Each structure stands twice: as structure tokens, then as C-alpha cells.
Amino acid sequence: MNPPDTSKTALLSENKRLRARVAELESLAHELREIQDALRISEERYRSVFENTGTATVIIENDMTISMTNAKFEALTGYSREEIKGRMKWPEFVVPEDAERMRTYHIQRRKDRSLAPTEYECRVQDRFGEVKDMHVNIDMISGTLQSVASFMDITAFKQAEAALVESERKLSKLMGNLPGMAYRCTVDEARPLNFVSAGSKWLTEYSPYELIESGKTTLMDLIHPDDRQRVKEQIKSLLSTGRPFQLEYRIITASGRTKWVWEEGVGVVAETGEITGIEGFISDISEYKKEELQLRKENIRLKTSIQERYKFGDIIGKNPAMQAVYERIAKAATSDANVIIYGESGTGKELVARQIHRLSDNRDRPFVPVNCSAIPETLFESEFFGYKKGAFTGAGADKPGYFDLAEDGTLFLDELGEIGLAAQVKLLRVLEGGGYTPVGGQETRKVRARIVSATNRDLKEDLKTGRVREDFFYRIHIIPITLPPLRKRKDDLPLLIEHFLTMYAKNREIPKMDGKMLAQLYNYDWPGNVRELQNVLQRFITLRTLDFMTRSVTGDKTEDISVDAFEAGDGESLSAIMGRLEKQVLMQILEKNRWHRHRTAQELQIDRKTLLRKMKKSGLD
């Protein structure tokens, strides 16, 4: 049995230890209360922040259950916290079309945060079935498998965006249906476009992409080269006034067609007051312009018709047959159709062609006359279509052909009836719009030249004999004009005589003509037509005597002139005498054959080129 003191000591020691333990537990309990208070305060603060974020916010667990939500999310979905918290999963709020994407994002985000976006758009559906567009911000809570997501309602924004898209669609459709092109361009000399309506395709044959995205064609590039400088200066002047401008000019479409357009525009003014761009609308007025020009030409034609005309440009004559020719010329000038002029040599076919050109829209463009009979068939292509450097021996540089020289103007094909069938085929391809290729070249060129032809042959008869192709004939023979020979309009002789005497006399005194001379002029049948009359009167001014070269005319009789009339003058060389004799022979045979050159060449037993060269040398061309 232990002593009482030992037992007491043990109890006191145990009591002391227990007291120390109680004190330790009380200290731990106090610390725990402090921690709990801190956690409570922290949670209250977190909940306060969570509640007052300003956006609908939820915490989503690993299994997609929503474990925490704020009042904004309740208001957004129409569900209470009790209905949501721990009971509903996030995809239940998402419309079916977006739900699978949300599940995929949820899984990817927990594998690797970088695999799923932290911001995206989706649509949610509230308990009443209303669908709303949402902008979502979502990310993982560090150290957990939870994610926190906030939602911003962008339904009104999306509706406004859709309305804007629809408005732009309607505006674009409206502009596309307008008979023209709306545009916006920057202010510089080239006027590059940064917006055009769909009407650009109809107006210019360029799509909006070709005019904007490619950047190869500017608004100034579309304008006809002859109008560019004027348009540039007018826009610069009109913009400086700060007022809208209106212009009329021509454009060249993608296919090379010319159109008349009307442009209305206004400068776009920045806050600084500087004009930074131009907005406007361009419409096609080609038909109106065509009618206007037609009416203007018709007005001129009618004015010339109300009085007896004795002169039309450089053409002289008041004979009814010539009045009919004037009418044909005026009508032909208002058209772009091909013209064929028939008439004997010397009747003035080139004068008619030039008058048609002078009255046409292309009067400021080239008039290119070509003597088809003087071009060998082997040189036909190089003369008409041109050639490239190195195309053949001697081709040291590029040379343009007749079609190139006559671009946008008039190509006058004299002696058309003399070209062969092979040449007709080559010309036909150009006339049908197929274009032509220069000798030695690769690129096909399109011609924009008005064709006016002339011949002293009967092409209808040549058509029957096969000398002229049928398709070629109908391409050429669209507007025919037939010139009467001088022997059938001798009532025009006084006008013609006065005209040529005045022209050749210039400042010299005009020799007087007696009755006998006038009778000679009237009794002569003029096989060389007006050209022969012109030559006779030119000699009359110089020699003071009528010299018909091959015939002497007295009253109603004509007598052959003998060779004695060509006696040598003082100091005259044999070459000069032979030249006069050659000219006499040429005149005799030409008159005998009514100035038909082919038959004349055959009778003289020389080729046609030699005849033409001799005629030119003798002044008979």
C-alpha cells in the first residue's frame, strides 16, 4: 500500500497536466473560432463580390452542376437559387444547337486550360422559353476542378447587328437594282475606289471585286482618254466650292465599248474640314445621248434641206441627183453602219467619204484613205494589220497598219472592187468583229474604225460572177451612195466652172470665157468627170486656152487632135515631149474605156500597177 503522500503527489501532477491540456484545447478552440470567423468574413466578402459583380455569375462543378449562383443569374434565367444550386447542370440552360459545344469546352478546359476559349458567345434559354444571346467569360478556379463563369446579355446588340446587316443587305440590293453605280473613292488624281455597288458590273462590265480588291482599275481609268483631263479639272474646281457636282463624259467598259454617263457626286468632309473622299452615283445616258446627237444631226440635216443646196462641204452641185446624194450623206453620217460609194472615176467619191467623216461623231479622229488597187496581195496583211519588229527581213521596227491608224475614226477603202477573194476573207474577219493580228504578233486586236468604201465597179454584177464573196458584199453594202457622172448633170457646170476658176486663179485675174468656149465645155461628154473638168480649167488659168488634151471641141463636133500639136518647144527635151505624148495616149485610152483602169491596162498591154504609176506621173490619178 502506497503512502498517502505519494498518491497525493500523483493526483496533483495529473491535475496539472489536465489543466495544461485544457488550456491548450481552449487556445486551439480560440484559434479555430478566429479561423472560422475569418472564413465567415472571407466567405461573406466573396459572396458580396460574387453577388455584386454586375453580371450573371455561376460556379460550375466538375460534373457540370451549378454549385453557386448570384441574383443576376436568377433574373437572367427565371429560376431561383434553390432550383438551381446543386440541382441543375450548366448545359440545361443552353439552346440545343450550342449545348454540345459547351460540353466540349467544359471537358477540354479541365484537361488543359489552353484547349478551350475563355471568352465566347452562345445562346441561353430561360424557363419561359425566351432565347437570349450571351457573351461568356469563363475560367478555372486555381487548385480546383471548379470554373467560374459570368454572362453578359448581348441580345439587344445582336438584334441591332442583325438589323444593320439586313439594312445593308437591303441597301446593297437597292443599289444593285439601280440603273447605275454608287461609289466611294479617295481624293487623288487616279480616284481609286473603296466602295462600289453591284451595278458596276452592269455599267462598266467590271465586278466590284475587280474595281476594289484587285486595285488594278481606278475610276479615272474607266474614263475615256479624251475626257480624262476635262473631268479631272472640273472635279477639282467643283470640289473646291464645297457643293455637289454633276458631270457628263464617256467611259470605256471592260470589253472596250464606249458609254456616255452622268455622274453626280459630293465631297466627304472630315472633322478637320478637309475633303477626304468623294461619294456619288454614275448612270448610263448612252441612249439619251444617242437621241440627242441624232436630233442634233437631224436638225442640221433638216436645215440644209429647207433651201436648195448647191454646195455640201467640198462637193459642188444643185442637180436633183446631187441633192439626193446630199441627203444620203447626211443620213449616213448619223449612223455607224458601213458605207459603199459607187461612181465612175473622177466623180468625187473621196470627197463624199470625207464629208461623211466630217459630219460623224468621230470627226476629230483620223480619216485614213487607202487605195486598195495599189496594194499587192502579198503585202495586204502587213499594210492593213501592221507588223512587229523582226516579223520578216527588213522589219526593223513595229509598224502600225491602216486599221491601227484609223482607230476610232474612218477607214476609206478606195477601189474596193479591185481586191481579190483572199483579201476579202481577211477583211471580212475584221468587219465581223473577230479582230486582227499584226504580222509576227500574238495578240489579237479589235478594230473600232468606221468603214467607208468606194468603187467604180458594179459589185452586184461581180457578186453574180463570183468575183466578190456574198458574205463580204453584204458586210460592205449597207448604206450605198451612187454618184452621177458629170455628163448627166451638166446643169452643174456653171457652179463647177466658177468654183475651179476661183480656186486656181487665187489672186490672179480670171481669164474670160467666150460663148464658143462655154459651148465646148457643154458639148464635151466628160469621160473623166469632175476631175477632168478640174484639170482642163487648171490648164485654162495657166495657158489661157481650153485644152482637152485628146480632143478639140467645136459646136456639136469633136475632132481628134493630131500629134503635130505636140511639137517641141524651145529647149524642150525628148523626155518631156515623150511624157506629153504618153499622157495623150493615156487620156485617149482612158476616155475610150470610160476611165475603167482595168480595161485600160489590158488594152495598153501593161499591168494595173504600171498604169497607176504612169497616171500619177502624168497627173491623171
Domains of the chain with bracketed CATH: 51-157 (3.30.450.20), 174-284 (3.30.450.20), 290-484 (3.40.50.300), 492-617 (no CATH)
pLDDT at 293 over 80: no
Q: With contact defined as beta carbons under 8 Å apart, do 363 and 351 qualify?
A: no
pLDDT given at position 177: 60
Q: With contact defined as beta carbons under 8 Å apart, do 386 and 439 qualify?
A: yes
Question: Do you know the residue count of the chain?
Answer: 621
pLDDT given at position 564: 41
Phi, psi of 192 (to 5 degrees): -65, 140
Q: What is the pLDDT of residues 65-98, one digit of tens each?
A: 998 898 889 888 999 989 999 999 989 999 999 9
pLDDT given at position 553: 45
Which whole number is the average pLDDT over 423-442? Answer: 87
What percent of the chain clears pLDDT 70, i.e. is strictly above it?
86
Name which residue leads in pLDDT, 3 or 286: 286
Phi, psi of 369 (to 5 degrees): -85, 140
pLDDT at 41 over 70: no
Q: What is the pLDDT of residues 222-245, one digit of tens each?
A: 999 999 999 888 888 877 777 788
Cα(274)–Cα(204) distance, integer angstroms: 30
Cα(86)–Cα(88) distance, integer angstroms: 6
Name which residue leads in pLDDT, 318 or 434: 318
Cα(120)–Cα(107) distance, integer angstroms: 16
Residue 388: CB partners within 8 Å, gap ≥ 6? 395, 398, 438, 439, 440, 441
pTM score, whole prediction: 0.48
Please work out, in degrees rounded to the nearest 5, the angle formed at the alpha carbon of residue 584 by the alpha carbons of 583 and 586: 65
pLDDT at 253 over 80: yes
Q: What is the pLDDT of residues 571-584, one digit of tens each?
A: 556 566 667 767 77
Q: If you compute the radius of gyration of the chain from its CA atoms, what whole number of angstroms results?
A: 50
pLDDT at 337 over 60: yes
Cα(618)–Cα(595) distance, integer angstroms: 15
User: Which of 89-103, 104-118, 412-426, 503-517 has the weakest average pLDDT?
Assistant: 503-517
Helix (H) or strand (E) run with residue 99 in it: helix 96-111
- Taking the alpha carbons at both ends of the chain, their separation in whole angstroms is 172
Region for residue 78 given its phi and psi (left: phi exceeds 0; alpha: psi -120 to 50; beta: otherwise): left
Helical H segments across 128-283, by residue range: 155-177, 199-204, 208-212, 219-222, 225-240
CA quadruple 513, 515, 520, 523: dihedral sign: positive
Q: With contact defined as beta carbons under 8 Å apart, do 223 and 260 qualify?
A: no
pLDDT given at position 98: 92
pLDDT at 2 over 70: no
